Structures are given as C-alpha cells and as structure tokens.
Amino acid sequence: MAGKTHRIAVLPGDGTGPEVTAEAVKVLKAAADKFGFELDMETFDWDGTRYLNTGEVLPESAADTLKKFDAILLGAIGHPDVKPGILEKGILLKLRFELDQYINLRPVKLFPGVETPLAGKTPKDIDYLVVRENTGGLYTGIGGFTMKGTKGEVAVQSMVYNRVQVERCLRYAFEQAMKRHTADTPWKGLSEKDKAAGKIGQLTLCGKTNVLTYVYDLWDRAFYEIAEDYPQVKTDYCHVDATCMWMVKNPEWFDVIVTGNMFGDIITDLGAMTQGGMGIAAGGNINPNGVSMFEPIGGSAPKYTGMGVINPMAAICSGAMLLDEVGESEAAKAVETAVAKVTGSKLKSMAAGKMGYSTSEVGDLVVESL
Ligand code: IPM
Ligand code: MN
C-alpha cells in the first residue's frame, strides 16, 4: 500500500546551508522508505549567491509558488558579501510574513551524550519548548528616522501587536502544552497539588510587564483569559530577564514558554547553547493552517563552507519537525530517536570539526540507526 505523497520545497540557502540540508534530505528519504510515504521534493536557489548574480532577492511569485507545497525545508540564509539585513529581511522574514508563519517553534532539548555548559544538568532537566510569536512585535518594520545623519537624528522602531496576533499565538502555545502530556503521564515538574488539581502541563508567559506596560499588558490579559479554556495547563509568568536567569540555573522549571518575537529570538539562542549549541538546535516557522518552513536556528556559518565539518543534526532535527507537521508523527519520532542514538553513542562533540565524523558521515549514522 503506497502512503501519502508530501510535496517539499527545499531551499538550501547560503554557506553551509546546502551541506546540512543534503543530510536532512538524506534522512527524510530514509524515513519515507521506512514508513511508506512518498516525498516529492523541488529545490530552489533563492539565496545570497543568486542575489549577487541577479540583483533580485526573491522572485515576486516566491510565496505563491511555496504555497503549493506541503512544507519547506530551509538550510540557512546569510552571505558574507551581502550587507546585513538584505537577505534576512528580503528572504527569511519576507517568507515568514507572506506565508503567515505566525509561530516559531523552538524545542530546547538536551540529547543524550551532548555536552551542556550548564553544570550538573542532564537531558531530563533540559527539555522544553519555546513558542515564539513570529510575525509581529519589533519585526514588523514600523519605525523610521528623522534628521538622519545629523547630530540630532532620531530613530524609532515600534513593538506592534494586535489582539488577534497575540491570541492566536497564545492558543497555539496552550495547545502545545496539552499535546506534550497526558493525564497519565503529566509533566514531571508539577507538584502533587497541581496534579491533584488536574494539571498535566505548564505554560510560562515570558514578558516584561513591569516596563513594556502596553504590549505585555495586552499579552498578560489575553494569556489569563485564554487560560480559562485550558484548565489542565498550569499558568506561570516570568519577565524576560528572569527567564534568561532560570533557563541557565533551573531549566527544569520550564515545560512550554510563550513569548513575543524579539524576546523569543533572544532567549532561543540562549536555549540553543544550553542544549549543546547551534549544531543541534532546530526550529520551525509554522502556519498551522498553511505551509510551514523548517530551519536550523543557527546561521550559514560561511567560514566552514565546503569543508564537510559542519554539524547537520540541527537540519536533521528540523526535518523531523517537518515530518511531524505533515502528519508523519511516527516517522518524526523515529528520526528523533535515531538522532538521540547517534549523539548518545557516536559523536564526540556537537561543534563543527569536532564531531569525530564528517557532515555526511553524521547523516549516514542517523540513517543507519533509523
Ligand atoms: C532567527 C534569526 C532571524 C531572526 C534573523 C536572521 C532575521 O536570528 O531565525 O532567529 O531574527 O528571526
Ligand atoms: Mn535568532
């Protein structure tokens, strides 16, 4: 019996993006063989090199083209010869906005065998999910200069949120907190009292209600209103600065964190370091009703281009998230398990050039253990 066919657009991107993407594709294909579904993949060269050659950042029809796919796999965007901001805004942010990928889902998970800089912490302590709002806040580009270039110049950049954006993000986060646990296997961070009260998971709102008294006041009010629809989720609030502190000192206090775009960007780099670095940190730009785009949370690491030393695990884990999103959750879990086996028994380090294997050998190891 032939399984479903999933149409995947592949954007390998710049620098080491193509190398890590090739390994993710290799693993996705192996998963398709094993679990009996088809992958119909098409590759697009929308990257910095194409921009340097053509002067066009992204074809006008790019978003419409991508809407015809079931999911997108992205390597990394960022070319050393292109001024910062052009590709980021013109490709990555443009696609996030035009495809309305309003969630950036970033698991912070320490795999077995991976070294964390947090002394004494083990995989059971570092296993939470950050739900970053992905199309609003400081990223909307609202702002401007006056008297640019003079001594008196003024720059303004606004943190903009409307109620709808905040609510849809919060609801998604509450759903994630429900999805991670069951009444029989509640989140281990809950107290006996919480469990007796019927809680199964926790959602922490990360904000700054003491200073950003408009934007995070809106988030805060919406959070507690929506919480009433999710009585099984324990609510928790943390200012963003304190969130950083606890992510380092007591990461086991977190189950799911939800936050705005800018805070989410910052805390997920911190989270990535605690789970072993950019080599293993995966993410997904999600439109729950449309096409989602999966990418390692790190950049294109151009200095390692073509050397075969970059760690493809972040791309492979992003591929696992893609499988989950297109409905192949069994395959997604199997890829995660295979990654855990390889990190737990083979890789010496997550750092580029220190894995003990080349980029493509790491992909092969994951395929073998799958
Ligand atoms: C990320 C990146 C992007 C962001 C940049 C490249 C625009 O840092 O995906 O976290 O800020 O969202
Ligand atoms: Mn970032």
Closest ligand to C-alpha of residue 77 is: 1
Q: How far is ligand 1, taken at its centre, from the CA of residue 265, in Å?
A: 7
Residue 43: band (very low, low, confident or very high) from pLDDT cuts 50, 70, 90: very high
**Averaged pLDDT score across all residues of the chain:** 97
| Ligand 1 binding pocket mutation candidate from 83, 87, 93 (most atoms within 8 A of CB) | 93
Over the stretch 281-295, which tens digit does the pLDDT of each residue have? 999 999 999 999 999
Which atom of ligand 1 lies closest to the CA of 261?
A: 12
Find out whether 255 and 221 touch, Cβ atoms under 8 Å: no
Q: What are the structural domains, with CATH classification, of the chain?
A: 1-112+275-370 (3.40.718.10), 117-127+136-259 (3.40.718.10)
* Residue 1, pLDDT above cutoff 60: no
Over the stretch 187-228, which tens digit does the pLDDT of each residue have? 999 999 999 999 999 999 999 999 999 999 999 999 999 999
The pLDDT score that the predictor gives to residue 3 is: 85
Mean per-residue pLDDT, 340-353:
96
Over the stretch 277-332, which tens digit does the pLDDT of each residue have? 999 999 999 999 999 999 999 899 999 999 999 999 999 999 999 999 999 999 99
In the sheet where 292-296 sits, what is the strand order? Answer: 38-43, 5-13, 71-76, 292-296, 282-286, 103-109, 127-133, 256-259, 201-207, 233-239
Question: Is ligand 1 within 6 A of the CB of residue 297?
Answer: yes
The pLDDT score that the predictor gives to residue 2 is: 66
**Side-chain half-sphere CA neighbours of 117 within 13 A:** 10
Question: Is ligand 1 within 6 A of the CB of residue 220?
Answer: no
